[in-house]
Amino acid sequence: MKFTKMHGTGNDYVYINCFKEEVKNPEELARQISDRHTGIGSDGLVLIMPSDNCDFRMRIFNPDGSEAEMCGNAARCIGKYVFDNGLTEKTEITLETKAGIRKIQLFLFDNQIEKIRVDMGQPILDSVSIPIISDEDIIIDHPVCFEGEDYRITSVSMGNPHTVIFRNDVNNLLLENVGRVIETDPMFPQRTNVEFVEILSSTHAKVRVWERGVGETQACGTGACAVLVAGVLNKKLNRKSTISLPGGDLEIDWDPRNMHVYMTGNAVTIFNGELETEN
């Protein structure tokens, strides 16, 4: 089975072209290939598939085998993959995901992709839809205690749930300890991604991400969008800001006209390979 390993802002996945390959058990394959000691090593598995109503369809599986609704970094990489591999000549494509249809715009220089912009849609803020179990309809700067520690959280869904927490110094945070605790708290019935955010200016934030079903990652596209939305709601960030993650920067823009969030960043092919598997 042929595959391509790619990353967007350091968020690395193994991509399989399901126009040519058949993946019978993606949950198990994701567990196998994601292991960084015995597999290829990645933040998960992405299937590039035909769609009945879009140019392409994406399915994404975490290293624990669970299926995610959406990944912004993976969406950008799919844009690069389908263009570079001749699956499309379009520079504006539509992508079917479990979180809905996403529009991807490719910016070219000398017929090479320079950067990619994804329309991530409107953020979801109501607790029932995120989902989060709370008496509050909307969770903004809300006090919560996790295992004896007090936090103030803002909850946003970008097709998948995010819990955003602002603090002064994210570098000294023991994320592995607190990330798993928050991710699996009963108030999040579908678990949650967690972002710890340090505000550097009104247009710049530094973020560390704990991804649901993955652990700490170099970047999270939907997480960066959730951070921007939470920053605007808490009057800490402008609607157009740079979100710096360990893997690099993403430019996020929350358009007040249609309330859509736009994410712009890179997509990089690391290598191609072939996998011996019964999947």
Q: Give every CB contact of residue 59 below 8 A, 6+ residues apart in sequence.
A: 26, 46, 47, 49, 67, 98
**Interaxial angle between packed helices 72-84 and 221-233, expressed in degrees from 0 to 180 and rounded to the nearest 10:** 140
54 noted as active-site residue? no
225 noted as active-site residue? no
Q: Give every CB contact of residue 111 below 8 A, 6+ residues apart in sequence.
A: none
Distance in angstroms (rounded) separating the CA atoms of residues 174 and 224: 20
The β-bridge partners of 103 are: 94, 119
Neighbours of 279 (CB within 10 A): 18
- DSSP secondary structure of 7-68: EETTEEEEEEETTT---S-HHHHHHHHH-TTTS---S-EEEEE--SSSSEEEEEE-TTSPEE
Tokens describing residue 78: 């799919």
Q: Which of 18, 54, 71, 145 is labelled catalytic?
A: 71
Q: What share of the chain is helix, strand, coil (3-state, %, to 5)?
A: 15, 45, 40
Tokens describing residue 43: 């933040």
Cβ 38 vs Cβ 277: under 8 Å: no
Residue 247: which of 42, 8, 72 has the closest Cα?
A: 8
Give the residue numbers marked as catalytic: 71, 220
